[in-house]
Amino acid sequence: MTFGKGCHLHLIDGSAFIFRAYHALPPLTRKSDGLPIGAVAGFANMLYRYVEGNKGPDAPTHVAVIFDHSSKTFRNEIFPAYKANRPELPEDLRPQFPLTRDATRAFNIACIETEGYEADDIIATLSCQARDAGGRVTIISSDKDLMQLIGDGVVMFDAMKNKLIDRDEVVEKFGVGPERVVDVQSLAGDSVDNVPGAPGIGIKTAALLIQEYGDLETLLERATEIKQPKRRETLVNFANQIRISKQLVMLKCDTPLEFSLDSLEVREPEPEVLMGFLNAMEFRTLTKRIADKLDVTPPPMVTAEATEAEAGPLPEALPFDHGAYEAVIDMAALERWIARIRDIGHVAFDTETTSLDEMRADLVGISLAVDAGRACYVPLGHRQGGGDLFASDSLSEGQLPMNAVLTALKPVLEDPAILKIGQNIKYDFKIMARHGIHMAPIEDTMLQSYALHAGLHNHGMDELSDRYLNHTPIPIKSLLGGGKAAVTFDRVAIVDAVKYAAEDADVTLRLWQRFRPALHRAQVTTVYETLERPLIPVLADMEMAGVKVDRDVLARMSNAFAQKLVQLEEEIHEIAGTRFNVGSPKQLGEILFDQMQIPGGEKGKTGAYATGAEVLEDITTLEAHPTGAQLAARVLDWRQISKLKSTYTDSLQNHIHPETGRVHTSYSIAGANTGRLASTDPNLQNIPVRSEEGRRIREAFVAPEGRVLVSLDYSQIELRILAHIAGIPALKQAFRDGLDIHAMTASEMFGVPVEGMDPSVRRQAKAINFGVIYGISGFGLARNLRIPRAEAQGFIDRYFERFPGIRAYMDETVAFAKSKGYVQTLFGRKIHTPEINAKGPGAGFAKRAAINAPIQGTAADVIRRAMIRMPQAIAGLDAKMLLQVHDELLFEVAEEQAEKLTQVARAVMEGAADPAVHLDVHLRADAGQGRNWAAAH
DNA sequence: GGGCTCACG
DNA sequence: GACGTACGTGAGCCCG
């Protein structure tokens, strides 16, 4: 077909696909030879999705994927530094480039690259040709450098966001239409591509200037008329540089091409060619999916068969067949399953219960899986008449007695030769513990995923199944319903429960088959085996122990708070002169900034004024608005009390377990990317301590009669780790000498003696020390210290001058993250940083997170090691470890053994890094004890 | 259910 | 005069 009117050309930005694919996927390798193929796999998937998604009435008539040929182009002759600051390509990506071309050809799509030109120029040239021939063009990319091409039948489509980029979008981004984008980019420059532009002029200013003068040439000619002296000078002095920038930014529409548009006509893929490619890449899932679609039989996978002979069937090899799951309703059947488990030596194990709270949940059923597709469900506690208001409590028929089943399973679950595999198995471990079964050994697919993929995605079963098994399990909501009408699992019909529950065990088993070898390949087996897996029983015991909370203390505080709140509310209404909901930030904002006309109100993206504590604190100091100041101060008081009451004194009472009289939190091991734990239901890691009023809540956390609470917390653990990792001699020495580290920092920076130091000077140094751990920025420090930004930047500069190792650490860490896609703790934990090479503000976040993660993560590893060793160490004492708060461990111990416990626990904590890592800075733990947590801390 | 606010390390 | 920023969490409330 000759390209012309009525034709529609799709131009796919191949490089964008590749990088997106590379960063979206874990570092997959080809099974047979270890060739990195993650990016190719993602690329092929994206191409496939593109092909499938573009078959409708508006399907393209012509299509091509365009690649960059090499990094050196004609632009480097104009400006040698062009794209010079691009980070090195990851070493495992480069070998995948030719394979992405192969993939494109395998899909029977034209694959284009030209020496000396960027993909963008080819896209520009083809767009122009197609437009001139009267056709339409869709550029599939979100690259802003291509936006200059939009218009006259040319549009862009962002395939990631599934969104059309049209003229309006361009105006929003650049402040001008597509035809003037080049002008704005020439002025603003581009740090990513190293286009110089005009110094000090960004997109905003550039857009203003272009709007005013029409176009770049006119602007440069009339530059002397510009009123602002700085801008005028810049434009006059840098006119040449700006013109060079324009040459760099402007895409060429006359790239020499050795083919015609006609040759890009859409062609169906040829099944053998496509299958051959996918097969050679050993893309099991994609091969199967496309084979189904094309209705052809995939060729046998030679290498895979060899692997299967050694390791059993691969997880994706079998489809999920819900009908094949067995309901175990007689003891003979159960015994058959037990025999299978003993035979194979492992079992995926899952419990179904009536609640997510393990301390209150009743057991409803158990599922087991021994191999992919071979799973069963043992119903135990299903009840009749689900949903009926007068539902009887009698058990449904056809269920084995719970006692008999547990008695039969106990030897298996406790057999040291049989591995019990679970997804978040701490949950099932606790459920079984309440039935007198101590499961061991255990394995957790959630934690395997955490060791492999922290930072890439979450580790819930549904997500893992979607990602790694290409299978969406039955959603629990489809059985239980949602919201108020939700029922508990015991009301689910057994026939439905079998499918859901057995599937969970099946999925878990398949994930395990997949993750187990992956741990070795990613070299995180040690992390998983020493920092994740052994933590499960330790945390389960802590959670089951719980901490005693005195309800009366909380109730009294709640009452006092309630009265105080009423009083404050009245005062607030009086000052405002109107009644409103003090708890509504929206209403408060309107009162302060509209009604009372206090200046400086800033609206957020929802259109509501910001009324956070910082804003209110500023208002309290406004002398021009005494009523506003008073109101703000009262609201701050109200907020504090209200928070304490609702989040702590009220809510904690509801968490006191009716039988144990204690509060049992739940720790999530795979919640925080850095290796920290997270505490939920309730969160006992954020009990107030910083304010006097809040700290009193800790008085409600008590030890029973004859016992005391002992708290040990690491002193400055993150700064010590920083001193070690970054290798800062002055910091190390200060810790060795037991100095006040913040005062020492201040002394080094400002040249003042520690003796008789102004507390505010020390405070500033402290803020800087913390800032360094967080990936310091002038902006952040300025905001924290409430000083001008330039001053904050001055502090930072001086700090880096004084401790040059810190700068080096930060630069090295960011560079590492950029090339590897992750950072590591001293103990080998990987934290992925997928956004680190992104453009836009996301990169800034990712950079700081990358700087922080090894420090925070190493500290998290250290306390994990201490916790794992603790039960052994304190076994001879009448003591229990109860809580972890990131750098603190809380124990309950018989009064007369408090000293001994402190001594033992301190030794474990201070020696926790050894022998895996020898820190140049010793760790120190401070201890306290008392009848309640406030006294012990 | 998202946004805001605020509690902790 | 810029996109916008200190790192990591969880919970309760308001409001559409």
A775-828 pLDDT, tens digit each: 988 999 999 999 999 999 999 999 999 999 999 999 999 999 999 999 999 999
Which nucleotide minimizes the distance between its C1' and the CA of A859? B9
Place of tokens 């189904």: A292
Nucleotide nearest to A792 (CA to C1'): C6
Q: Which residues of A196-215 are buried (b: 16+ CB within 10 A; e: fewer)?
A: bbbeebebebbbebbeebee
Q: Is residue A845 part of a domain?
A: yes
Structural contact between residues A386 and A492, judged by C-beta atoms closer than 8 angstroms: yes
Q: Report the DSSP pairing between strands A346-353 and A419-422.
A: parallel
Enumerate the β-bridge partners of residue A884: A889
Closest residue to C11 (CA, C1′): A647
Considering the domain architecture, whether residues A750 and A864 belong to the same structural domain is answered as no
Same domain for A275 and A192:
no
Do A754 and A712 share a structural domain?
Answer: no
Name the one residue in this structure whose structure tokens are 């179904």: A352
Domains: count for chain A: 5
Are A457 and A470 contained in the same domain? Answer: yes
Radius of gyration of the CA atoms of chain A, in A: 32
Mean pLDDT over A256-285 rounds to: 88
Q: Tell whether A440 and A332 lie within a shared domain.
A: yes
Residue A697 domain-assigned (yes or no): yes
Whether CB of A259 is under 7 Å from strand C: the answer is no
Flag whether A789 is in a domain. yes
Output residues with Cβ under 7 Å from nucleic strand B: A 585, 589, 604-606, 608, 610-613, 616, 636, 639-640, 643-644, 647, 685-691, 694-695, 856, 885-888
The letter for the amino acid at A406 is L
Q: How far from the centroid of its chain's Cα atoms is residue A364's Cα? A: 33
CB A710 within 8 A of CB A721: no
Task: Establish if A511 belongs to a structural domain.
Answer: yes
Strand C nucleotides within a 7 Å radius of protein CB atoms? 1-16
**C8 C1' – A10 CA distance, angstroms?**
44
What is the Cα–Cα distance from A530 to A550, expressed in whole angstroms?
Answer: 36
- Are both A348 and A387 inside the same structural domain? yes
What phi-psi label fits residue A865: left (phi over 0), alpha (psi between -120 and 50 degrees) or beta? alpha
Q: Is residue A574 part of a domain?
A: no
pLDDT at residue A572 is higher than 80: yes
What's the domain range around A506? 315-517
pLDDT tens for A186-237 read 998 887 788 888 888 888 888 888 988 889 989 988 888 888 888 888 888 8
Both tokens of residue A778?
């002038």
- Whether nucleic acid strand C comes within 7 Å of the CB of A788, the answer is no
User: How many Å does it take to go from CA A604 to C1' B3?
Assistant: 10
Of all nucleotides in the shown strands, which has a C1' nearest the CA of A581? C14
CB atoms within 10 A of CB A839: 13
Q: Are A862 and A856 in contact (CB under 8 A)?
A: no
The CA–C1' separation of A652 and B5, in angstroms, is 20
Residues A320 and A452 in one domain: yes
Asked if residue A540 is part of any domain, the answer here is: no
The three-state secondary structure class of A831 is: strand
* Residues A628 and A592 sit within 8 Å (Cβ to Cβ): yes
Same domain, A37 and A129: yes
Binned at pLDDT 50, 70 and 90, residue A273 comes out as confident
Q: Judge whether A50 and A159 are in contact, CB under 8 Å.
A: yes
Q: Which residue is nearest to nucleotide C2 (CA to C1')?
A: A202
Contacts with A661 (C-beta within 8 Å, 6 or more apart), sequence order: A548, A549
| Mean pLDDT calculated for residue range A165-182 | 87
pTM for the full model?
Answer: 0.69
CA A680 to C1' C11, in angstroms, rounded, equals 9
CA of A786 to C1' of B4 (A): 22
Domain end residue (candidates: A517, A550, A578)? A517
Q: What would the mean pLDDT of A759-787 be, rounded to a whole number?
A: 92
A204 touches strand C (CB under 7 A): yes
Do A826 and A865 reside in the same domain of the chain? yes
- Protein contacts on strand B: list nucleotides below 7 Å from a Cβ: 3-9
The closest alpha carbon to A111, from A267, A294, A250, belongs to: A267
Three-class DSSP labels, A851-883: HHHHHHHHHHHHHHHHHHHHHHHCCCCCEEEEE
Å from the A11 CA to the C5 C1': 36
Please check whether residues A695 and A733 belong to one and the same domain: no
For residue A385, name the pLDDT band (cuts at 50, 70, 90).
low
Which of A459, A488, A517 finishes a domain? A517
Per-residue pLDDT reduced to its tens digit, A884-936: 999 999 999 999 999 999 999 999 999 999 999 999 999 999 999 999 999 99
Strand duo A925-930 + A419-422: pairing: unpaired
Q: From the CA of A685, how many Å to the C1' of C9?
A: 9
Averaged pLDDT score across all residues of chain A: 90
In order of A51, A268, A569, the CA distances from A272 in angstroms are: 17, 12, 75
Q: Is the pLDDT of residue A714 over 90?
A: yes
In a domain, A381, yes or no: yes
A292, A424: one domain? no
Percent of chain A with pLDDT over 90: 67
The domain boundary, picked from A802, A834, A851, lies at A802
Q: How many CB atoms lie within 10 A of CB A887?
A: 19
Q: What is the CATH number of the domain that holds A14?
A: 3.40.50.1010
Distance of A767 CA from B8 C1′ (whole Å): 17
A896 part of a folded domain:
yes
Residue A668 approaches strand C within 7 Å at CB: yes
Same domain, A282 and A298: yes
> Taking the C1' atom of B2, which residue's CA lies nearest?
A606
- What's the CA A825/C1' C8 distance, rounded, in angstroms? 15
Mind listing the pLDDT tens digit for each residue in A391-440? Answer: 567 899 999 999 999 999 999 999 988 999 999 999 999 999 999 999 99
With distances taken from each CA to the C1' atom of nucleotide B7, the closest residue turns out to be A686
